[in-house]
Chain A
C-alpha cells in the first residue's frame, strides 16, 4: 500500500524544486493542504476583531440606547417608549412613506441599466469609450453629484436653461423647491447614478451568457425585443433578482447622502427619508434615543427584506432555469 507520505517524498526528491527545503509534513492529507483549525482561527481573528468593533458592539449599544432615555445625566430604562414615540411621529411616518415611494426608482434603475447593457453588448465600435462614459455617474461621488444637481435644478439653474434652449421652456420648474416635485427630482438623480452601476453589473453578466441561443434566435429572424426578452433575459434571471434586491435595499437604507445634499429633507419634509430622520434626531436634534429606536426599526425592515430575498431566490431556483 502506498502511503501519502511515501509518495510525497518520492516525488519530491526527483521531480519538484523545493520551496523551502523542508521535508513535507506527514500530517498533510491526500487532498492537499492542511486543515488547521487553530491557524485558521488566527488568520480570521483580526478581521473578526474589526467587525466586532465596528458592527457588533455599536449595534448592541444601539439596542440599549433605543430602550433608554436620558434626562440630564441620568439614564432611565423606558422599555418600548422610544419605539412608540417614533412610530407616532408624523415626520417618521412621512419619512417611511417617502422611502417606500422612492422604491419606484427600482424598476427604472433596473430597466435602464439592462437596456444599456444589452445595447452596449451588441455595439462593436467605441464600446470601451461608451462604457467609460456610462460609468461616470456611478463613480461620481455623492458630494459632487449633489453639488452639480443642487445647482442645476434650481429655478434659474442650468437644467431649466437647457429646457429653454431646446424650446421646452414651458416645462420650467423649481425642481427641488416645489414640495410636489422634490421627491421625484431626488428620485431622478438616484436613478441617474444607480442605473450607471446597473449597466456595469448587467454588462458583465451579459458577457458570460452563452451566445449560441441568441444567435440561433437571430437566425430565426427574431427581432431585438423578442430575442432579448425570451432568450437573453431568462438566462440572467438570478442576476436581475440579485440586482433588484440590492437596489431595493439601497433605496431603503443608503440614500441618506442624496437627500442630505440635495434637499436636506425639505421642503417641509417632502423629501425626508428614514435614514435622514435618524440623522436629524441623533445629530441635529438631541434625541439620540429616538434615533436609536428608528435605527433598530430600519434594521428590522432591512432584515425582513433579506428574508424575502432568500425566499424569492429559493423559489426561483426551484422554478424553470
Chain B
C-alpha cells in the first residue's frame, strides 16, 4: 500500500513485488490466452506450429462449434445452473432461518452433520446415485443434475447463510416480530438485504460449481439432448481430437460467462468472503 511506501519501503522491494505478481499473473493467464489465440487459427496451421500467433484469424472454428451443438449445450448449462443455484439458495435460506430463529431440538447437531457432508467426494455417490436416478427415470433429464448439484452445494450454502444470519442483531428480529411480521416477511425484508454480500458469494461459488461441473453431467445426461456445456466439451474433445482449434473455440465460449461474472462480481465476492472469514 502507499502507506508502506511512505514509511520507507524500498524501491527494490516494491519492484520485486511487482515482478513476482506480474510473473504470477502471466502464469495464471497464459493457458487461457493460448487457447483464445489458437482458437482463431486453422487446424493445419496449428499442427505445423503449435505456438504461433494466428496469421489469418478466422471465426470459422466458432461458427462450427456453435453448429456442433455448443449453443444447445450452452442453454442447457444456463438452465441447469440457474435451477440448481436457485434451489440450493432457497432451501438454504429456509433452513438457515429455521436453525437460527425457529430453533428446533437437535438443530446444532443436524447443522454439523449437514456441513460434514461437504467432505463426501462426489465420486463416491456417483454409482449409487446413478442407480437411484435410473430407478426414478431421471437419467437423461436435466432435473437429475439439478437435484444433484443443489444437494452438493446445499451444505456450503446453509453454512454461509447461518453464519451471516447469526450476525444479524436480535433487535431487528424483535422489532419485526413485535410489529407482527410473519416469518417469510422477515426473511425477505430483513435477512436477505442484510445478508447480501454473503448471498452474492454463495451465488457465485455455486454457479461456478454448477457451470464447471463435468462428471455428474456426463454420467447423468449420457450425451443426450440435455447435455451441459462441460460434458459436451469433453465429448467434442473426444470426437474431434485432432481438430484442436475447434475444441479450443468451444472451450472459450464456455468461459465467456464465467469471466464476465467474475469481472463484475469480484469485489462483492471478496467482501462476502471477508465477512465470512472474520468470524473465524
Contacts and interface: CB of A to CB of B under 8 A. Distances in A.
Interface of A: 8, 11-12, 16-25, 28, 31-41, 43-44, 46-47, 50-51, 53-55, 57-59, 61-62, 65, 115-116, 119-124, 128, 130-137, 139-149, 151-152, 156-158, 161-162, 165, 192, 196, 200-201, 203-205, 207-208, 215, 218-219, 224, 238-239, 249, 252-254, 256-257, 260-261, 275, 278-279, 282-283, 288, 291-292, 295, 298-299, 302-303, 305-306
Contacts of A205: 274, 277
B102 A58 contact: no
B32 A204 contact: no
B151 A50 contact: yes
The 7 closest A-B pairs by CB, nearest first: A32-B174, A40-B102, A253-B121, A54-B151, A58-B128, A141-B212, A161-B51
A192 B27 CA distance: 8
A179 to B, nearest CB: 21
Contacts of A133: 25, 28-29
B127 A288 contact: yes
B171 interface: yes
A139 B262 contact: yes
Contacts of B244: 151
Nearest to A299: B124
A115 B20 CA distance: 10
B183 interface: yes
Contacts of B34: 148, 152, 158
Contact of B148 (A22, A54, A239): A54
Contacts of A292: 127-128
A16 B178 contact: yes
24 contacts: A20-B180, A20-B181, A32-B174, A33-B177, A37-B105, A46-B91, A47-B154, A47-B158, A55-B120, A57-B132, A116-B24, A122-B4, A128-B267, A142-B214, A143-B234, A143-B251, A149-B31, A157-B50, A158-B38, A165-B51, A192-B27, A200-B270, A278-B124, A302-B121
Contacts of B35: 144, 147-148
A134 B234 contact: no
Contact of A41 (B87, B104, B127, B211): B104
A119 B21 contact: yes
Contacts of B32: 136, 140, 148
Contact of B178 (A8, A61, A161, A303): A8
B241 to A, nearest CB: 10
Contacts of A201: 273, 277
B25 A207 contact: no
B24 A21 contact: no
Contacts of A165: 51
A128 B102 contact: no
B25 A130 contact: yes
Given A35-B102, A50-B150, A62-B128, A43 B94 contact: yes
A115 B238 CA distance: 38
A144 B25 contact: no
A239 B277 contact: yes
